A and B are shown apart, each in its own frame.
Chain A
Amino acid sequence: MENTVISKKSIYYPPGGMLIWIVISIEMLTFLMGIAAFLVSRNAELSLFNESQLMLNKTFGTINTIVLITSGYLVAEAVKKLAKGDSEKSYKYIMWAIIIGSLFLVLKAIEYNGKINLGIALEENTFFTFYWLLTGFHFVHVLVGVVILTILMIQIKKGNYSASDYTDVETGASFWHMCDLIWLILFPILYLI
């Protein structure tokens, strides 16, 4: 059978493959619509949104952003090492990406717990309805991302990928970066502005 070499410059092969980019596009569009709805509601109830935002911990949010960025960096390095045929280093990078990525979930869980203890639930007010829905939806994505990275780590350890065959890892990495990108547009809107 004739081998087909797919060029990375091909329009049919974005990083990670076409399918993950369809997923990324849909997810980004969904979150952008959520952000638009949040901003429109914010204009209608500006003082309520500003007061509610003060109840969020900006320091916590900033640390979580750094955590996700760091995890994204480690995943990028894992893909790079695999592309060079260094499975051992790739495995270590992806393992640390999972550990640090999980830290995001732990910190978010602590933040959620604090809100629940204060009795701030989904129906508290419009701001917190958006807060719970947008960050909760993102939380689930990160959780799924951790599971995907864990599966990839196991496969790398088993030696199932090589420098000439690591598309799955690229796809999983793209999903993880998407979690990072969503948080980057969500965090300033909810916590900072």
Chain B
Amino acid sequence: MKITNKKIWLVLVLLTIASFLTSKEGLVKDTSLIIIVLLSAFKFLSIGFQFMELKHAHKFWQIFFSGIIVFYVILVFSISI
């Protein structure tokens, strides 16, 4: 299956709605936080690799970009959980 911008856009919209619903679900605060932050990280990577075309870029930039969001996830989890 070919990954297109349109398909990624649709996934991103659905994940945004999923994040919204998760925050309203009244789950245990930590569970909700983990789900929402991981969904954000996935969306971040999708935009970078698909919309910004990092999938065609040098490995260095792919790792650098992924490092930013890994840092964000570690930051949020280490301070908030």
> B-contacting residues of A (Cβ < 8 Å)?
8-11, 13-16, 21, 25, 28, 32, 35-36, 39-40, 42-43, 58-59, 62, 65-66, 69-70, 72-73, 75-77, 79-80, 173-174, 177, 180-181, 184-185, 187-189, 191-193
The reply to whether A14 and B58 form a contact with Cβ atoms under 8 Å apart is yes
Return A84 CB to nearest CB of chain B, in Å: 13
**Inter-subunit contact B47/A35 (CB<8 Å):** no
Please give 9 more A-B residue pairs, beta carbons under 8 A apart, in addition to A66-B17, A69-B43, A184-B43: A15-B53, A32-B71, A42-B80, A75-B51, A76-B53, A79-B53, A188-B19, A192-B19, A192-B32
**5 residue pairs from A and B, CB less than 8 Å apart:** A13-B57, A15-B57, A35-B76, A66-B17, A69-B47
* Contact present for A192 and B23 (CB under 8 Å): yes
> Interface on chain B toward A: helix, strand, loop, or mixed SS?
helix
Q: Report chain A residues within 8 Å CB of B52.
A: 15-16, 76, 173-174, 177
Interface pair B23/A58, CB less than 8 Å apart: yes
Q: Are A189 and B57 in contact (CB under 8 A)?
A: no
Q: Does B40 contact A (CB under 8 A)?
A: yes
Residues of B within 8 A of A73 (CB): 5-6, 8-9, 12, 51
The answer, among A11, A39, A181, A187, for a CB contact under 8 Å with B80, is A39
| Residue from B8, B60, B72 in contact with A185 in the complex, judged by beta carbons closer than 8 Å | B72
B28 interface hit (Cβ, 8 Å):
no
A192 to B23, CA, bound (A): 6
Q: Is B50 an interface residue (CB 8 A)?
A: yes
Q: How many A-B residue pairs have CB under 8 A?
A: 122
In the complex, which of the residues A11, A16, A62, A189 contacts B20, with contact meaning CB atoms closer than 8 Å? A62
Q: Chain A residues near B43 (CB, 8 Å)?
A: 69, 184
Contact of A72 among B33, B47, B57, B71 (CB under 8 A): B47
Name the CB-closest residue of A to B8. Answer: A73
Is B75 on the interface with A (CB-CB < 8 A)? yes
Measured CB to CB, the closest approach of chain B to A187, in angstroms, equals: 8
Q: Which of B19, B47, B76, B80 contacts A177 (CB 8 A)?
A: B47
B24 proximal to A (CB < 8 A): yes
Task: Establish whether residues B76 and A9, one from each chain, have CB atoms under 8 Å apart when the complex forms.
Answer: no
Given contacts A73-B5, A184-B43, contact A58 B16 (CB under 8 A): no
Give CA–CA (A166, B35) in the complex, Å.
Answer: 38
